């Protein structure tokens, strides 16, 4: 049992990465590798006519070895492999516990060096497995200067929200890239997202299911964008209800005052007092030379007291967050009175009316 590296998944990329781990451990590549007829290696077979997986052929070309599948229903051709698997199950896996894949690999490495490699080679009892491996390394093909790139690359795009779905999980992206074609590059440990050649997101890869992996910077950018959108929407609403507010925004911008703060405060006053009162208070504040949201609030309070009205009562919606952004357009009370008035019966009408 010379090498093994347990992968996080059974994808084609994990299959290829397993080869690279083995080649690196052996410090070389055998001239011929024997494969069972698994889908990652053999796509189609008709007798001796075999169609290998293109990615496997790419691996063979990069490391200069030949791939050979075993004959169908010929278990004797891979007897040594099957015996090693049985040995691994009984000697290593039996009654063994581990925290995660990294812990499993660490335990395997210790078991391999301390137990498996200390066995005597059948037929050559003078050699240990470790000594035989060192002798065999001299016959292996040398490794290329650069390993084969085994990362998965896929063209993806998000839906309405700034998240990409990959392998049953969600990964955040900058909000301005929503619904834009992007390139996702998945390694064994990382998820990278590219906008052409520019990297726009990098996450630790999750092998769970239903996990939402987020970058705090993406969330902060989304919150800022939503706040700006709300401010713009609020300004449009204010200008529709109180046309005089357009001049206020220009004055505040020239003075370098925070438009978002004044917008939020005027929207609150609009909800509390209504458009007609807010228009009147805005005109009075402008005439007094104090065009600020604080001055407008002061004028509204003066007018409320002069009319003997009760102060507006705030409504606590902390327990109903879905209602916080709900906007109600108040109607005139006369409109409700009109709904209760019905046309008189034609027979009862005054013919002289």
What residue ranges of the chain have pLDDT lower than 70? 1-9, 73-80, 228-232, 313-336, 338-353
Phi first, then psi: give them for residue 245, nearest 5 degrees. -70, -20
Question: What pLDDT was estimated at residue 1?
Answer: 46
Beta carbons of 140 and 26 less than 8 angstroms apart:
yes
Closest CA to 70 of 104, 88, 100, 45: 45
Q: What is the mean pLDDT of the chain?
A: 83
Residues 77 and 96: beta-carbon distance below 8 Å: no
The pLDDT, as a whole number, for residue 32 is 94
Q: What is the pTM of this model?
A: 0.57
Q: What pLDDT digit, counting tens, does each position of 80-122 carry?
A: 677 888 888 999 999 899 998 889 989 999 999 999 999 999 8
Question: Residue 346: how many CB atoms within 10 A of its CB?
Answer: 6
């Amino acid at each position: 049992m010379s090498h093994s590296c347990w992968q996080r998944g059974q994808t084609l990329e994990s299959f290829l990465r397993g080869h690279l781990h083995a080649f690196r451990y052996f410090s070389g590549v055998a001239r011929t590798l024997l494969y069972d007829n698994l889908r990652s290696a053999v796509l189609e077979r008709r007798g001796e006519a075999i169609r290998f997986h293109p990615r496997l052929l790419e691996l063979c070309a990069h490391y200069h070895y030949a791939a050979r599948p075993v004959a169908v229903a010929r278990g004797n051709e891979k007897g040594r492999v099957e015996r090693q698997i049985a040995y691994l199950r009984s000697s290593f896996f039996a009654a063994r516990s581990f925290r995660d894949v990294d812990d499993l690999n660490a335990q395997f490495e210790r078991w391999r060096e301390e137990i498996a490699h200390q066995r005597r080679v059948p037929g050559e009892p003078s050699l240990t497995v470790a000594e035989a491996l060192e002798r065999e390394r001299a016959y292996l093909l040398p490794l290329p200067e650069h390993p084969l790139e085994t990362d998965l690359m896929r063209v993806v795009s998000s839906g309405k929200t700034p998240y990409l779905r990959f392998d049953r999980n969600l990964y955040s992206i900058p909000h301005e890239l929503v619904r834009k074609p992007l390139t996702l590059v998945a390694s064994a440990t990382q998820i990278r997202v590219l906008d052409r050649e520019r990297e726009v997101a990098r996450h630790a890869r999750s092998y769970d299911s239903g996990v939402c992996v987020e970058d705090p910077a993406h969330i902060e950018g989304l919150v800022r964008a939503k706040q700006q959108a709300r401010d713009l929407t609020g300004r449009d609403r204010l200008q529709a209800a109180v046309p005089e507010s357009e001049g206020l925004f220009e004055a505040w911008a020239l003075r370098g005052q925070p438009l978002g703060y004044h917008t939020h405060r005027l929207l609150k006053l609009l909800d509390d007092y209504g458009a007609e009162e807010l228009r009147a208070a805005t005109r009075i504040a402008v005439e007094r030379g104090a065009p600020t949201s604080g001055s407008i609030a002061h004028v509204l309070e003066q007018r409320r007291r002069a009319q003997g009205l009760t102060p507006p009562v705030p409504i606590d919606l902390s327990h109903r967050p879905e209602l916080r952004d709900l906007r109600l357009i108040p109607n005139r009370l006369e409109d409700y009175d009109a709904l209760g008035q019905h046309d008189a019966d034609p027979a009862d009408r005054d013919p002289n009316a």
